[in-house]
Structure 1
Amino acid sequence: MKRNVKQNNRSVGAVYEQAAGYYLEQNGYELIEYNYRCRDGEIDIIAKDGDCYVFCEVKYRSGRQAGNPLEAVDQRKQKKIFRCALYYTVQHGIEDAQCRFDVIGVEGTEITHIKNAFVG
């Protein structure tokens, strides 16, 4: 049973990640990759904003009672994203590239994009 719940959460998450990706494209970003996985975790979206690599965490909430989606990216999650981003830059030979960490919150049909949401 737990496996089905996890599968459903991933399916739902994928829909909102696609919406966030579309939002980024509409705002001039180049999408590089969805769901980059490494041993330390996962990055929902990797994109480029000009010469800057943007590592995005997408958070969805169905309503206000579930809390603000941006608050869900706690310090532990930030560290995991940072470690994945570091691994990605080394793996792709772009260690010296400019990078930033954004959070995209999806609440119903509203998208909130926080640039430089945290520092690695």
Structure 2
Amino acid sequence: MTSSAHNQTLGARGESLAAAFLEERGFVILDRNWRNRYGELDLIALDRGALVAVEVKTRSGRGYGSPLSAITARKAGRLRRLLLDWAREHRTRASELRVDAIGITLGPSGAPGIDHLRGIL
């Protein structure tokens, strides 16, 4: 498997784990991998009236540090703008717009480590 294919497979697995994690906590997943010319949102969800863009970062070990360290303030700002675009396109109103991040670390034991940060912006 090429490095690019491995990363895509790893990312898709992480997004599925993140969606299940959020649904177990009462979130409603509205969309996955939505994109426009400015970028992509991994997950869009509703959390008790709040419209939430969720950035998912997945690593297959801690060799490159925490998955969440890859999300900069600049990236979080871009995610918020993308969420506004998604809301306009889907004519969706919400009491709040929020950007969350989920970091997933897949270890050799197979059990994923999941960190969820709410409101990273």
TM-score (norm 2): 0.86
Provide the residue aligned with 1:38 in structure 2. Answer: 36
Question: CA offsets per residue over residues 69-94 of structure 1, 9 Å max, x none?
Answer: 11101133223212211111111223
| Residue 118 of structure 2, aligned match among 112, 115, 118 | 115
Deviation at 1:11, TM superposition (A): 2.2
Which runs of 5 or more residues in structure 2 are unaligned? 107-111
Could you say which structure has the higher helix fraction?
A: 1
Say whether the 8 Å CA contact 1:40–1:83 is kept in structure 2. no
Alignment of 1:33-112 (within 5 A): 33-94=31-92, 97-108=95-106, 109-112=112-115
Q: Taking every aligned residue pair, what percent have the same amino acid on both sides? A: 35
What secondary structure, in the 3-state scheme, does the structure 2 residue paired with 1:9 have?
A: helix
| Aligned positions, number | 115
Say whether the 8 Å CA contact 2:10–2:59 is kept in structure 1. no
Deviation at 1:19, TM superposition (A): 0.4
TM-score (norm 1): 0.86
Which runs of 5 or more residues in structure 1 are unaligned? none
